[in-house]
Every structure is written in C-alpha cells, then in structure tokens.
C-alpha cells in the first residue's frame, strides 16, 4: 500500500494515453530508443512494428488496468470462458480499430517514414487453435469486451501454435510454429502469479479426532508451476478491456533433495525440464480425439490453475460460499475443460470442508457446457488406468458423481422400465464406459455437472438431443438442452478484413454504428435500386479479388487476372466430412467438360472460374493429406493446360490462417460449405463469407439452415441429401452388394486412375472409400446434385445486376450472425449476467 502522502505524486505521473500524433510519435521513438535499444539509423519494419505495437499496447494497458480495478471495486458476477484454443490471429490492427486510433497511427508512422500496411505484416499470427472452435472463442472475447461483460478467458500459452503448412511437390509438410521468437508486446508476463499444480501421487485417509471424521487427502507426486500471461482484450468503441489469461508451465524451484543426495542430479534436472513440455505445443487435431497422456496433463494443468485463480478471486470478496454461483459462471468450451467440474468439487469437499451435496449443488449451478460436434471420433474418452495414475483423487470423485447420478436415474425409471431397458439406459448415460480398458466419458460428465448444455446451431442442437445425448433428455427432460447459434465479430470480419466494404456500408448507414448493432444492415435494402451504390459494391468486390490474386502470386507464383473469373473458395480444415473431395471431383468434372468442347463452344458456354482451396490436415490424417495432394495435382495440370487457360484455375493457398482468411474471404463470389448433412455442427466461415458479400453453395447443414432462413432461399445454392435421410442412405450402402456410382463420378474416377494427376494408384484409397468402403460421407449420392447447383451458379452469375442484388440482400440480412448476439443469448439463458458500464 502506497502511503496517502505519496499518492498525489503517483497521480501526477500517471501514464497518459496518447491522443494526438505528436504523443504517439514521441512514445514510438521512446520505444525504439529504450525498449528496443535502436535508433533511426537501424530501424527496420520489424523494429517499427515492435515500437508501434508497444505504443498501442501502452494505451490499451491503461484502460485494461482501470477496467480491472473498476470490476474489483464493483464485484459483479463474472463470466469465465474456458477454452483450450484461442485462435486470435493478429492483434495490432484490431487494437487500433477498436480504440479508434488507426488513422492517427497511420499518419504518425508515415511522418516517421513508415508504411502502416507493411508494418502490420510483421506481426505473427497468434495461432493457438485449430479451426472453428478456437476462432469462435476469439470472436466471443471480442464481443464480451465490446458488450462490457465482466469476463475472463482462460487457456494455455502454447509455445508452438498450430504448425505452419508448406506444400512440397503437392504434399503437406508441417513445420513448427514458434511464434514467440521476438518478444510479444501483446502479452504481460505475470511472474508474480504462480500456481502450483500437482499430478500423480496417491490418496490418503486422514482421521480427525475432533470431528470424528475421516478425510481424503491427495498427495501429489509431481509438482509443476503455472505462470500467468495476460492478454488485454479491447472492446470496440468502449474503454472496457477484459483479460485473457494463458498459463505457461514452469518447473518448481523447490529442489528434490532426495534425488540430489542420491547423486541423481541429471535426472532431477530432466524432471524439471519435463514440466515445461506441458504447455509446449497445441495438439493439431480438429474434430478428433487422440487420447494422449500429455493432453490430459495439459487439461488438468490448465483447469487447476484457472480454478485456483477463480476461487481465490471469489474468496477475496469474503462473500459466503452460497453466493459462489451468483458471482461465477464458468463456460466449458467443448469437453476439454470438463475436469473443472471435478476440480471444483474437490476444492469444496477436500479443501474447504463442504458436504458432498452442498458442494455439488454449487458446482452444477456454476457450469455450462457447449457441445461442438456429433462426430463419434471427436468425443473425448480417457482410459481409467491412465486417469488413475495421473489424477487418483479425481477419479474417486468421478466415481462418486457417477454413483449418485446413476442412483437417481434408477430411482426415476425403475417402476416404468423393464430390467433390460433400465440396464441399457444406465450403461448409456454412465460416465464410465465398460470397455477394455474402461474409459471415462467426458461428455457425460460435462452434462451431469452443468446446469445447461448447448449446441451451436439449431439443427445441431436438435441433433444432439435425438442422437448422442438422447438418453440424457430422458433423464433431465429437454429444458437442460438449449441452442445458441454461433456468430462472428463484425469488427474483425468486416471492418478489419474488408475496409472498403465496411466504408461503403457506413456511407449509406450514416457511420459505423452498425458494427455494434449488426441488425442495422437491414437498411441496405433501401439501396437496391441505387445504381451508383451497386456499381461501387461491385468495384469493392473486384478490388478484393485483386488483393487476393496478389497474395496468390506471392505464395504460389501463379498469376490470375481477376476481372475474368468467378472466384469459388473453400477454406477450412481438411476433413472427409467437410468434403473437399467432393469439390475437387467437381473441378475435375469441369475440366473434362472444358476439354471436350471446341474453342468456340468454350467461349460461349464456359463461365471462367478460379477454385481456391486452403486448409490444414491433421499431421496423422492420411485421407485428408491425400485430398490435399489431389487438389495440388489437379492444379498442376489445369493451370498449365492451354485449353483451360482463361476458363479454369485451381489454387491451393498454403498455410491457411486467420490473417490470410482476412484477405481470402472478402474476395469470394461463391464459397463452399458442403459437409455431409448432419456432420458440421455450425460452421462460422459461412457467416463470414456472406457478411462480405459472397454467396454460398452449401448443404442443408449446420448454420447454413439459419443463413438460408435469414437471407432467403433465392440467395443461396443448396443441394444434397438432408440430415434426416443420411442414416437410411448409409444403411443402404452398408447392405448393398456394390455401390453404383453416377456416370459423372465414374468419368472423374477414370480420369484420376488414368494417371492424369500423377500415379493413378496413389489416389486409390480415396476412390475406394467411395466405391468399396460404403461411402460414409455420401459423396456419390450428392455428386450430381452438387454439379447441378454449380450449373445454377454459372447461370446466375451471367446476370450481374441480379447477382449484386443477391449479394446486397444477403449482407443486409446477416445481422443475426454477430457474435454480440450470441453473447447476449448466453448471458441471458445460461450465465445470468449483466454488462457493467464503467463510470
């Protein structure tokens, strides 16, 4: 505590945020000369980026500090968003835009001899996520700050984010993404916040003669320290700056003297080094559970540190424990943080001395769980022997949770169910799967320990109730299950990614207010007859296509004149269920068709198209890697074939990430969201594309359904079988003696096998997965319908005026898909929290 007599001095020297060019310039030079120890004689773009970002960061930190102090004073209910992934992308541009200082910084830097756009290119992406789930968490943080919700993100500070992808001879090659080579101005290391986390060890019973009770005590065998790194999260057009706290694992400084004395110094160093490996690397799987021990360690390390922090913050307020769920809402982003349920129960009963029931009541009120997938291979399960070794006390608590839960189920159904029915129900909802070895089902645990479970789009939320969690609906009724359709932040995905479109919209809507109330976009419909506006709309799209072709040239060497082509884009993780194979088979079909035409016919019949692909495959996902290879091989042939020149290009953009997405998405005429119906929980890039004036070709899946409802059926190209029919079709495939392929697909397969795209044999597993292995993803069933939809697109694109009309109407009706709306829904339905306006 600073004595009162000194405080006026502190106040006199309190940091002042820059608000004029000269302030920015002074601080910038200060950072160049002191923080970086450079001068005007050795200041390159990287140094300028670092100095500029430090200057912007200083401003942010002043507000961040004040926000935190204010929240401490007011002590509102807080939201804690636990996510193993935060796919943030770059911070600098976003921070400037949110604080409203981008023009000032741009002019200042220009006066100092630098170009802002070049400087922004110096920033590495913070790529601490795989795909949609991680990016959703990042959009939510933006909306939480913008909406002034007192909230924290908690995650891990991986030293290596998602790998960088290179394409060598058409194949994906992974290289490590060490993103912290240069000091990171966007994080504040909090070396004073160190939380011990234990693993392994054993459970002891301790008898207390005073109370005559025995108590379980977990004696951990290996201790690791969690160190906090704080990332300020600015809101748009508000001084509210929330915090994202990421944990980094460090060894303890306590030395194991027994090892030392026994002369095993090297081993004791090795053990310490092992600690740091916990937060070394992000697991690069999307929609897939690999079940590695280190991953379970990551999960517990993160959950234990975060809960310790949350409970400590609550205890500081001296409120009674009964108020815990009134002050704390914890959202579980997928099942990855499910151990938090068990850890909180452990804290309450083992450390704070609660009764089981009192503790459990608070726990369930505190947690909400978001499910992001129905794919079986993504559902997390941990083998009991592993669990028992790593977290013996937690396993005991899980057994007890399960015991009481199953008892309750039994009681509820024993009079109405037959013995057999009851057994089936119990074994389906049990947290423990009877398997060899037995396994802990994390989704079941998450449902039992939360008061709300939500899916991420209407169709998905219905599907979880009727498929993977249907037995839980029997137990709880369907009130516990709800829907919050995903959204995206219009600040990054419109204003930042597409400044020209954002400005054009602002010119009609009287400013940028719509970025805070996206429903205002609806007013764009007043300009559907405004020729000048429509012309400008068209020009913006063309400019964005130019911007993308420049990037393509830089990354692949391939030159494209965008004025000639319709841009058809599919960028997302490579996955069989997302069906990039369907797309590339379609490209091959189109190529064969073009080849079959005379030059004159081509001219009159073919709509020139560039197909752009991008996305990473998990390193161990053989089939996805094969799809990447095929796309590149098709590109190699098509892009160099004189017959196809001017009609067809096929591009694979390497190393798709957030910053590239910001250039790719605004350039699309059509984007592809073509998952097998019922497999894509929501999708979020579909929303980004439409918000940027692109139309979509898609299946009736995930949030495509709601996008269609909002923008109208005339403005989207839907095709394919419906989710409700998928199971029957699969069943038919399973029992058919052989699968009859449509003629169109046969042609494509023949072309591939003839060796046009390199060794025909190479792609055999991919073709066989369709024709001999039951075509699980319904590629053959949807192929003709897909081709028809593509034809409709070609036709529609001819009428450019109508196309622009569709584009404007679509954008005008995308208000619903702002992540601000999601956060409001969570706040009301799940968290029961209100925004807190800073005085």
Catalytic residue numbers read: 372, 572-573, 578, 684, 688
Here's the x/- map for ligand CJB, 236-265, by CB under 6 A: it reads as ------------------------------
Whether 670 contacts 696, CB under 8 Å: yes
Here's the x/- map for ligand CJB, 741-760, by CB under 6 A: it reads as --------------------
Query: Alpha helix locations (H) across 75-174?
Result: 92-99, 102-111, 116-120, 132-146
Nearer residue to ligand CJB within complex by CB, 149 or 283 = 283
Nearer residue to ligand CJB within complex by CB, 177 or 680 = 680
Closest distance of CB 675 from ligand CJB, Å: 8
CA distance 557 to 382: 46
CA distance 6 to 592: 81
CA distance 361 to 325: 9
Whether 613 contacts 631, CB under 8 Å: yes
Strand runs (DSSP E) across 708-768, as ranges? 717-719
Nearer residue to ligand CJB within complex by CB, 91 or 443 = 443
Binding of residue 456 to ligand CJB (CB under 6 A): yes
Closest distance of CB 371 from ligand CJB, Å: 9
Whether 591 contacts 634, CB under 8 Å: yes
Here's the x/- map for ligand CJB, 81-120, by CB under 6 A: it reads as ----------------------------------------
Nearer residue to ligand CJB within complex by CB, 131 or 325 = 131
Which residues between 278 and 307 bind ligand CJB (CB under 6 A)? 286-287
Here's the x/- map for ligand CJB, 681-710, by CB under 6 A: it reads as xxxx-----------------x--------
Considering only the stretches 261-269, 650-658, 680-688, 804-812, report the one whose residues sit in contact with ligand CJB under the rule CB under 6 A: 680-688
Closest distance of CB 703 from ligand CJB, Å: 7
- Indicate the helix (H) or strand (E) that contains 151: strand 151-156
DSSP code, position 351: I
What percent of the chain is helix, strand and coil (3-state, nearest 5)? 55, 15, 30
Nearer residue to ligand CJB within complex by CB, 132 or 615 = 132
- Indicate the helix (H) or strand (E) that contains 207: strand 202-208
Nearer residue to ligand CJB within complex by CB, 372 or 534 = 372
Considering only the stretches 49-57, 88-96, 139-147, 675-683, report the one whose residues sit in contact with ligand CJB under the rule CB under 6 A: 675-683
Which residues between 593 and 632 bind ligand CJB (CB under 6 A)? none
Nearer residue to ligand CJB within complex by CB, 112 or 703 = 703
Here's the x/- map for ligand CJB, 774-803, by CB under 6 A: it reads as ------------------------------
Closest distance of CB 30 from ligand CJB, Å: 42
Which residues between 477 and 516 bind ligand CJB (CB under 6 A)? 486
DSSP code, position 178: B
Query: Alpha helix locations (H) across 176-289?
Result: 257-261, 265-276
How many residues are present in the chain? 839
Q: Facing residues of 453 across strands? A: 369, 481
- Indicate the helix (H) or strand (E) that contains 88: strand 86-89
Whether 449 contacts 367, CB under 8 Å: yes
Burial of 737 (0-12, 13-18, 19+ CB in 10 A): exposed
Closest distance of CB 131 from ligand CJB, Å: 4
Considering only the stretches 126-134, 616-624, 659-667, 706-714, report the one whose residues sit in contact with ligand CJB under the rule CB under 6 A: 126-134
Task: Give me the helix-helix angle, 92-99 and 102-111, nearest 10°.
Answer: 120
With CB under 6 A, what is the number of residues at the site for ligand CJB?
Answer: 18
Nearer residue to ligand CJB within complex by CB, 187 or 706 = 706
DSSP code, position 736: S
Question: How far does Cα 242 stand from its chain's mean position?
Answer: 19
Cβ count within 10 A of residue 531:
9
Residue nearest to ligand CJB (CB): 132
Here's the x/- map for ligand CJB, 363-392, by CB under 6 A: it reads as ---------xx----x--------------
Nearer residue to ligand CJB within complex by CB, 378 or 674 = 378
The single residue listed with the structure tokens 């379609």 is 586
Closest distance of CB 578 from ligand CJB, Å: 8
Closest distance of CB 460 from ligand CJB, Å: 8
Binding of residue 63 to ligand CJB (CB under 6 A): no
Closest distance of CB 378 from ligand CJB, Å: 5
Phi/psi of residue 328, each to 5°?
A: -135, 125
Q: Is 483 helix (H, G, I), strand (E, B) or coil?
A: strand
List Cβ<8 Å contacts ≥24 apart for 724-731.
Answer: 725/677, 726/676, 726/677, 726/678, 726/778, 729/778, 729/781, 730/774, 730/776, 730/778
Considering only the stretches 261-269, 304-312, 509-517, 674-682, report the one whose residues sit in contact with ligand CJB under the rule CB under 6 A: 674-682
DSSP code, position 16: P
CA distance 70 to 606: 62
Structure-token pair, residue 801: 């005026």
The single residue listed with the structure tokens 């010119």 is 507
Closest distance of CB 338 from ligand CJB, Å: 14
Closest distance of CB 133 from ligand CJB, Å: 3
- Indicate the helix (H) or strand (E) that contains 784: helix 779-798
Nearer residue to ligand CJB within complex by CB, 509 or 681 = 681
Closest distance of CB 123 from ligand CJB, Å: 24
Nearer residue to ligand CJB within complex by CB, 456 or 560 = 456
**How many distinct helices (H) and strands (E) make up the chain?**
34, 24
Closest distance of CB 495 from ligand CJB, Å: 22
Residues sharing a CB contact under 8 Å with residue 155, sequence separation 6 or more, in sequence order: 82, 83, 84, 85, 86, 128, 137, 244, 245, 246, 247, 302
Which residues between 130 and 159 bind ligand CJB (CB under 6 A)? 130-133, 136
Among 680, 706, 710, 775, binds ligand CJB (CB under 6 A): 680
Angle at 127 between CA 835 and CA 374, to 5 degrees: 75
CA distance 585 to 636: 15
617: number of CA atoms within 13 Å, CB side? Answer: 24
Considering only the stretches 36-44, 227-235, 679-687, 831-839, report the one whose residues sit in contact with ligand CJB under the rule CB under 6 A: 679-687
Nearer residue to ligand CJB within complex by CB, 493 or 537 = 493
Closest distance of CB 701 from ligand CJB, Å: 9
Residues sharing a CB contact under 8 Å with residue 573, sequence separation 6 or more, in sequence order: 130, 131, 132, 286, 287, 615, 616, 617
Nearer residue to ligand CJB within complex by CB, 602 or 673 = 673
Give the binding site for ligand CJB (CB under 6 A): 130-133, 136, 286-287, 372-373, 378, 456, 486, 680-684, 702
């Amino acid at each position: 505590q600073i004595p009162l007599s000194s405080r006026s001095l502190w106040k006199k020297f309190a940091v002042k945020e820059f608000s004029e060019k000269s302030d920015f310039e002074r601080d910038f030079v200060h950072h160049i000369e002191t923080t970086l120890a450079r001068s005007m004689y050795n200041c390159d773009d990287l140094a300028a980026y670092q100095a500029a970002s430090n200057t912007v960061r200083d401003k942010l930190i002043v507000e961040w500090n004040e926000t935190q102090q204010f929240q401490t004073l007011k002590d509102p209910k807080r939201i804690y968003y636990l996510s193993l992934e935060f796919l943030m992308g770059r911070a600098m541009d976003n921070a400037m835009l949110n604080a409203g200082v981008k023009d000032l910084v741009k002019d200042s830097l220009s006066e100092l001899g630098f170009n802002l756009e070049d400087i922004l290119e110096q920033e590495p992406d913070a790529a601490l996520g795989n795909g949609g789930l991680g990016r959703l968490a990042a959009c939510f943080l933006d909306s939480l700050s913008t909406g002034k919700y007192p909230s924290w993100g908690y995650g891990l500070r991986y030293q290596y984010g998602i790998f960088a992808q290179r394409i060598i001879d058409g194949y994906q090659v992974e290289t490590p993404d060490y993103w912290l080579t240069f000091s990171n101005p966007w994080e504040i290391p909090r070396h004073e916040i160190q939380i011990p986390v234990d693993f392994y060890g054993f459970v002891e019973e301790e008898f207390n003669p005073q109370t005559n009770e025995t108590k379980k005590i977990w004696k951990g065998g290996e201790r690791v320290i969690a160190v906090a790194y704080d990332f300020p999260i600015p809101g748009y057009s508000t001084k509210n700056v929330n915090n994202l706290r990421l944990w980094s694992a460090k060894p303890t400084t306590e030395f194991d003297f027994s090892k030392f004395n026994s002369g095993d110094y090297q081993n004791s160093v090795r053990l310490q080094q092992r600690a740091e490996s916990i937060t070394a690397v992000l697991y690069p799987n999307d929609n897939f559970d690999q079940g590695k021990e280190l991953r379970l360690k990551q999960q517990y390390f993160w959950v234990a540190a975060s809960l310790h922090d949350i409970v400590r913050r609550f205890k500081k307020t001296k409120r009674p424990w009964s108020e815990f769920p009134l002050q704390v809402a914890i959202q579980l982003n997928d099942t990855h943080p499910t151990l938090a349920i068990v850890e909180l129960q452990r804290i309450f009963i083992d450390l704070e001395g609660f009764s089981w029931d009192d503790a459990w009541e608070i726990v369930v009120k505190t947690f909400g769980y978001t499910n992001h997938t129905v794919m079986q291979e993504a559902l997390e399960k941990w083998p009991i022997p592993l669990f028992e070794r790593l977290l013996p006390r937690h396993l005991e608590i899980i057994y007890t949770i399960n015991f009481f839960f199953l008892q309750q189920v039994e009681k509820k159904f024993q009079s109405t169910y037959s013995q057999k029915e009851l057994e089936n129900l119990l074994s389906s909802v049990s947290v423990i799967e009877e398997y060899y070895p037995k396994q802990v089902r994390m989704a079941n645990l998450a449902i039992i320990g939360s008061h709300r479970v939500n899916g991420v789009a209407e169709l998905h939320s219905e599907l979880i109730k009727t498929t993977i969690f249907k037995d839980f609906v029997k137990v709880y009724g369907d009130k516990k299950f709800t829907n919050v359709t995903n959204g995206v932040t219009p600040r990054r995905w419109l204003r930042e990614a597409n400044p020209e479109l954002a400005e054009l919209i602002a010119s009609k809507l009287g400013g940028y207010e719509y970025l805070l109330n996206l429903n205002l976009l609806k007013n764009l419909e007043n300009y559907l007859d405004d020729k000048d506006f429509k012309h400008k709309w068209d020009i913006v799209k063309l400019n964005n296509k130019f911007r993308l072709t420049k990037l393509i040239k830089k990354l692949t060497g391939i030159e494209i004149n965008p004025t000639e082509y319709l841009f058809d884009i599919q960028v997302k993780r490579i996955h069989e269920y997302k069906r990039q194979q369907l797309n590339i088979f379609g490209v091959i079909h189109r190529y064969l068709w073009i080849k079959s035409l005379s030059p004159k016919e081509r001219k009159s019949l073919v709509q020139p198209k560039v197909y752009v692909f991008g996305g990473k495959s998990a390193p161990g996902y053989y089939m996805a890697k094969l799809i990447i290879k095929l796309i590149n091989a098709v590109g190699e042939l098509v892009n160099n074939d004189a017959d196809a020149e001017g009609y067809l290009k096929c591009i694979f953009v390497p190393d798709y990430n957030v910053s590239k997405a910001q250039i790719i998405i605004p350039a699309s005429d059509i984007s592809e969201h073509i998952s097998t119906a019922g497999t894509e929980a929501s999708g979020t890039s579909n929303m980004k594309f439409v918000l940027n004036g692109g139309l979509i070709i898609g299946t009736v899946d995930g949030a495509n359904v709601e996008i269609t409802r909002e923008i109208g059926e005339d403005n989207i190209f839907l095709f394919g079988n419906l989710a409700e029919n998928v199971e029957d079709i699969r069943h038919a495939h399973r029992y058919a003696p052989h699968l009859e392929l449509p003629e169109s697909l046969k042609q494509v397969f023949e072309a591939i096998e003839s060796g046009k795209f390199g060794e025909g044999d190479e792609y055999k597993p991919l073709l066989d997965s369709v024709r001999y292995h039951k075509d699980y993803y319904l590629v053959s069933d949807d192929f003709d319908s897909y081709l028809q939809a593509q034809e409709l697109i070609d036709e529609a694109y001819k009428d450019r005026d109508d196309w622009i009309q569709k584009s404007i109407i679509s954008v005008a009706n995308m208000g619903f898909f702002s992540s601000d709306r999601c956060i409001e829904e969570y706040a009301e339905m799940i968290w029961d929290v209100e925004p807190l306006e800073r005085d």
